Amino acid sequence: MKSRRRPKGLGDHACGVCISSVRGSVVGQSAGNRKLAGTGYELPCWRLHMSIEGISELPCHQECAQGLLRSGKETTSEVMIHGRTHRLCCMPVAGKIISVLFPVDSQLQASNTGAQTTTDDPHLTPREIDVLHLLAQGHAAPAIAEQLGIGSSTARAHVENMRRKLGVKTQAALVAVGFRRGYLH
């Protein structure tokens, strides 16, 4: 198991995505999640969430990942981090648990983003899917650009195009929707 690194501080708009296996072990984290909870690969997701400095009212427990997978239903809870309300959404997708934690004032609603949504299912290009995979691994635009041999502005443009196509406001929501629609496994 990798050693755990604790963050030094939090931003005002901390949010993050955590991906857990069938056993509830963390297999992926966004940069925002690492900032909140530190690096926690292979830790149980409930333990990683409970280690977030200043968190209270967290519904996570040792059996919650398996319960979510059995029920097949998404759960949403409000939690406090340093006195600020956040929403924790955990959803079973393709045998994994996707947990998205975000401040309530930046809810992931397309109606508040100005993003155009379509009634048909928007399709991502192969390059956008490549970018989405790296985004889900927690990479920022400069690292994505380097790995794909493209410019940082091009990587950012791909992220913005995907957010517009899928009607989401944040990168965390983009990753969650990517899992839901089968772009990520």
Q: How confident is the model over 97-113, as pLDDT tens digits?
A: 888 887 775 433 333 33
Range of the domain at 50: 16-106
Say if residue 43 is exposed, middle or buried (CB neighbours under 10 Å; 0-12, 13-18, 19+).
Answer: buried
* Separation in Å, CA 102 to CA 67, 76, 153, 169, 171: 22, 11, 25, 11, 11
Q: How confident is the model over 45-91, as pLDDT tens digits?
A: 989 988 888 888 788 888 888 888 888 888 888 888 888 888 888 88
Q: Which tokens hold the place of 182? A: 């089968």
Predicted TM-score of the model (pTM):
0.59
Confidence (pLDDT) at 160: 93
Provide the domain count of the chain: 2
Residue 109 CA to residue 98 CA, distance in Å, equals 18
Longest Cα separation, the chain: 45
Confidence (pLDDT) at 179: 79
Q: Which residue type, as a one-letter code, is found at position 71? A: S
Residue 185 CA to residue 182 CA, distance in Å, equals 7
Residue 2 domain-assigned? Answer: no
Q: In terms of domains, do 22 and 102 share one?
A: yes
Q: In terms of domains, do 101 and 145 share one?
A: no
Confidence (pLDDT) at 144: 92
Q: How confident is the model over 120-149, as pLDDT tens digits?
A: 557 899 999 999 988 887 788 898 999 999
Q: In terms of domains, do 28 and 101 share one?
A: yes
Q: In terms of domains, do 144 and 72 share one?
A: no
Q: In terms of domains, do 22 and 84 share one?
A: yes
Sequence-distant (6+) residues with CB within 8 A of 119 are none
Residue 84 CA to residue 10 CA, distance in Å, equals 12
Residue 35 banded pLDDT, cuts 50, 70, 90: confident
Confidence (pLDDT) at 148: 95
Confidence (pLDDT) at 9: 39
Q: How confident is the model over 148-185, as pLDDT tens digits?
A: 999 999 999 999 999 999 888 877 778 888 877 888 76
Confidence (pLDDT) at 159: 93
Which residues face 98 on adjacent strands?
Answer: 19, 91
Residue 97 CA to residue 159 CA, distance in Å, equals 23
